């Protein structure tokens, strides 16, 4: 099936009160694991490529790899740019085959965020490409995205922002956080704020970034085999499921995949120190990604069986 833009997928998700996972891809095995899970679960899926992943693998490699992986699947697949820093990178990936982009102007003042987001929308819309923008800031670190404090999304500003930019969807800040070290205590999501944003923008698709749950069993497994991933916290999965009933149609998951890959590869290396076939390491990683993503689709996002 050719790559698709998420227009109809998000409409169905909003009406059905479920979310579609935005899963970050960095190599072949992660890509394969995500798609194997989507096929098993009969779920649409969003493959997210960050600027860091493009730099690591190269734009053409990633696009051709995705095209090869999706050529014979009947699962709807969106190819999405995660955290596009400016108009140029968004234009480059639109011209290069992506079906969805995120322009992240959240670090700019409000009016400047509007201006850069609108510029991307005006380029993407005639080409049938979806545009996600962001209003508010998430505390934490994800590659080059760094914020020291939360800046929560204000419902009134969200309405003005959407009206002035024409963005197709909006990533909102309600208490999620980037990275594995999200909180010193327990997660607290501002569902009152989310409900107000949904009420102010009825029918409009919202997005949650920084939504990995950081499964402690995977952290413990990685640490058992030599990792030092200490003091991690994530978003409880029941909170994410609730968000999907309140207008959130896309939930981003990256850190959980990284930890699953790390734990799986370390286990093989430690248990069989004589092994030097990379396929044994990366094959275990692929299986771990498939298991994790299938669980998210089935039990967190609610997107299983939606195609």
Q: Is 2 part of a structural domain of the chain?
A: no
Contacts of 61 (CB under 8 A, 6+ apart): none
Judge whether 176 and 183 are in contact, CB under 8 Å.
Answer: no
pLDDT of residue 138: 75
Q: Is 88 part of a structural domain of the chain?
A: yes
The tens-digit pLDDT sequence of the chain (307 residues) is 899 999 999 999 999 999 999 999 999 999 999 999 999 999 999 999 999 999 999 999 999 999 999 999 999 999 999 999 999 999 999 999 999 999 999 999 999 999 999 999 999 999 999 999 999 877 655 555 554 566 899 999 999 999 999 999 999 999 987 665 554 566 789 999 999 999 999 999 999 998 999 999 999 999 999 999 988 889 999 999 999 999 999 999 999 999 999 999 999 999 999 999 999 999 999 999 999 999 999 999 999 999 9
Upper half-sphere CA count for residue 238 (Cβ side, 13 Å): 1
Q: Is 307 part of a structural domain of the chain?
A: no
Token digits for 128?
């049938």
Tally of domains within the chain:
1
Q: Could you list the residue range(s) of the whole structural domain that residue 236 is in?
A: 7-301
- Considering Cα of 75, then 303, then 297, then 181, what sign does the dihedral take? positive
Q: What number of residues does the chain have?
A: 307
pLDDT of residue 137: 77
Q: Is 306 part of a structural domain of the chain?
A: no
Q: Among all residues, which ones are annotated catalytic?
A: 82
pTM, two decimal places: 0.93
Q: Is 1 part of a structural domain of the chain?
A: no
In whole angstroms, what is the distance from residue 209 CA to residue 117 CA?
A: 17
DSSP state of 126: G
- Per-residue 3-state assignment (H helix, E strand, C coil) for 264-289: HHHHHHHHCCCCCCHHHHHHHHHHHH
CATH number of the CATH domain containing 27: 3.20.20.70
Upper half-sphere CA count for residue 153 (Cβ side, 13 Å): 35
Judge whether 225 and 184 are in contact, CB under 8 Å.
Answer: no
């Amino acid at each position: 099936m050719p790559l698709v833009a998420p227009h109809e997928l998000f409409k169905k998700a909003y009406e059905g009160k479920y979310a579609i996972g935005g899963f970050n891809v960095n190599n072949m095995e992660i890509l394969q694991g995500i798609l194997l899970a989507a096929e098993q679960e009969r779920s649409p899926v969003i493959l997210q490529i960050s600027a860091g992943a493009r730099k690591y693998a190269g734009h053409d490699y990633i696009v051709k790899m995705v095209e090869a992986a999706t050529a014979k699947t009947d699962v709807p697949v969106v190819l999405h740019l995660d955290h596009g820093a400016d108009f140029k990178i968004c234009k480059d990936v639109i011209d290069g085959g992506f079906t969805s982009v995120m322009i992240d102007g959240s670090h700019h003042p409000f009016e400047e965020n509007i201006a850069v987001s609108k510029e991307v929308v005006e380029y993407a819309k005639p080409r049938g490409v979806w545009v996600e923008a962001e209003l508010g800031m998430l505390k934490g670190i994800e590659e080059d995205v760094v914020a020291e404090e939360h800046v929560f999304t204000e419902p009134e500003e969200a309405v003005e922002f959407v009206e002035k930019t024409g963005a197709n969807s909006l990533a909102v800040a309600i208490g999620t956080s980037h990275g594995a070290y999200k909180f010193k205590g327990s997660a607290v999501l501002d569902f009152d704020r989310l409900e107000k944003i949904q009420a102010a923008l009825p029918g409009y698709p919202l997005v949650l970034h920084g939504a990995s749950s950081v499964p402690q069993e995977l952290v413990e497994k990685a640490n058992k085999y030599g990792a030092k991933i200490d003091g991690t916290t994530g978003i409880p999965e029941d909170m994410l499921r609730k968000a999907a009933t309140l207008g959130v149609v896309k939930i981003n998951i990256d850190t959980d995949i990284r930890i699953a890959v790390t734990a799986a590869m370390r286990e093989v290396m430690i248990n069989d120190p004589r092994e030097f076939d990379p396929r044994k390491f990366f094959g275990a990683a692929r299986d771990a990604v498939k298991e994790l993503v299938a669980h998210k689709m089935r039990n967190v996002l609610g997107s299983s069986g939606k195609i």
